[in-house]
Amino acid sequence: MERIRIVGGSALNGTIPISGAKNAALPLMIASILTPEPLVLENVPRLRDVNLLGRILGNHGVDMAIAGKRAGQSETTGQVMTLTARDIVDTTAPYDLVSQMRASFWVLGPLLARCGKAKVSLPGGCAIGTRPVDLHLMGLRALGASIDIENGYALAEAPRGLKGATISFPKVSVGATHNVLMAAVLARGTTVLENAAREPEIGDVAACLNKMGANITGIGTETLVIEGVDALHGARHAVLPDRIETGTYAMAVAMTGGDVQLEGARAGLLESALDVLRGSGVTITENNSGIRVARNGAGLQPVDVTTAPFPAFPTDLQAQLMALMCRAEGTSHITETIFENRFMHVQELARLGADISLNGEMATIRGVKRLTGAPVMATDLRASVSLVIAGLVAEGETTISRIYHLDRGFEQLEQKLGNCGATIERLAS
Ligand code: UD1
């Protein structure tokens, strides 16, 4: 099994290109189900989750083609992917595929909208919490679908099509918003989604759906209004930059010190996280082509942060911030309100010398003078990259195993950090 080896102690200096957002690319790929015409997506990151979703969509009958390399492109230039769902030949998404990636459950809404039926495996639990799908089912039922749960599958039917409705989500859910939004675009009449998630990736998908002929207003707010249309057509859309990758590398630079340009990053997508970093003593400036992050000499100040839906501090940067605060000059508090079990990195960070205690959903992080390298294990996608951040300053060698988690969401991580001076490599076993 592959591992990543890091020798800590080098500052990061240079340029890191920011990839297209995984969490937008996945639902955008799924949106291709809604039209028989080609959907062309630019800036798609090369990630395990993208490949896996390609297989899942292929099983439904979606053709996927990736354009070859063009002059002037580097290995970090995003891919151009054409998805064509001319005929949906199979409306079943089986357990062995859905269980590998929760977002594949989001095919349920589009399949229902296009074909009037779908059989999609329930995704099951995952390392960071129970993650139910009740809000997805509630929203789709409100649009007129009948959904039974049988043998681990959601069996959904809407033989006479879906019908617009006003749906008020009792809790903000990114996935439920995507799923119900993609169903509502082809429903008869008007759908209003209240307390919808406002994550930028939702806005990106809504913008793409509008290019495909949908009629969605309220994008970027907590109320989305969708006037259903009879059919969608093909379109071309570029995936927005990955705000979680941006924040992760910003924290890596904050940790090691140095000066790095995050090329292609957009500050407006992660203001809350950038504000936290500024409060901690990191210099962040926006320029024409991205964001520049620098910390030279000054110590890191501790922070008090609570994760919450956008525009607040994202849960997907919680582990990375915790790693950073291990080296702050004082005590930080981080409260996780989105996922109940998203603290598995704490035990691994402790192996590197971190001083963290947990009390329910709050972690107390007492900054230490030094971290020291050790073998550690990745437990989920964001937790694994927090170990990379810690490893970059830990004295000596840190090896991270189970890095398939990293490959789900971070494109060319070793190359991007290595090009800026980090000593980092992938070991075959
Ligand atoms: C998405 C992101 C993930 C991010 C998360 C929160 C993708 C591919 N994944 O995951 O990276 O960490 O948003 O920003 O975009 N919930 C329910 N019932 C439901 C659905 C969700 O109770 O039917 C709960 C969840 O257990 C969780 C909270 O709502 O406590 C938020 O989950 P949700 O926003 O749905 O996360 P995902 O869409 O799975």
Q: Ligand 1, closest atom to CA 23?
A: 15
pLDDT, tens digit (0-9, with 9 covering 90-100), for 210-253: 999 999 999 999 999 999 999 999 999 999 999 999 999 999 99
Candidates 3.40.640.10, 1.10.10.10, 3.65.10.10, 2.40.30.170; CATH matching 22-238:
3.65.10.10
Identify residue 357 by its one-letter amino acid code: S
Q: Where are the domains of the chain?
A: 3-19+241-427, 22-238
53 lines ligand 1 (CB under 6 A): no
Q: Average pLDDT for residues 274-287, to the nearest whole number? A: 97
Q: What is residue 45's predicted lDDT score, i.e. its pLDDT?
A: 96
8 touches 373 (CB < 8 A): yes
Sheet holding 166-168, edge to edge: 166-168, 190-194, 223-227, 215-217
Q: What is the mean pLDDT of the chain?
A: 95
Mutation test residue for ligand 1: of 136, 138, 173, the one with most atoms within 8 Å of CB:
173
104 CB under 6 A from ligand 1? no
Q: State in Å: Cα 173 to ligand 1 middle.
A: 5
Is the CB of residue 414 less than 8 Å from the CB of residue 16?
no
Q: Decide if pLDDT at 180 tops 90.
A: yes
Q: Considering the domain 3-19+241-427 in this protein, what is its CATH number?
A: 3.65.10.10
Tell me if 133 CB under 6 Å of ligand 1.
yes
Range in 65-79, 211-225, 308-322, 386-400 with the lowest mean pLDDT: 65-79
Quick one: average pLDDT of 12-16?
A: 98
How many Cα atoms within 13 Å fall on the side-chain side of residue 415?
10
Helices 318-325, 381-391: axis angle to 10 degrees equals: 20
User: Which ligand 1 atom is the nearest neighbour of the CA of 134?
Assistant: 23
Identify which has the larger pLDDT, 72 or 346. Answer: 346
Same fold, 3-19+241-427 and 22-238: yes
Query: For 337-353, how does the pLDDT look when each residue is reduced to its tens digit (9 = 90+)?
Result: 998 878 989 999 999 99
Q: Burial-class residue 266 by CB neighbours within 10 Å (0-12, 13-18, 19+).
A: middle
Q: Is 126 a catalytic residue?
A: yes
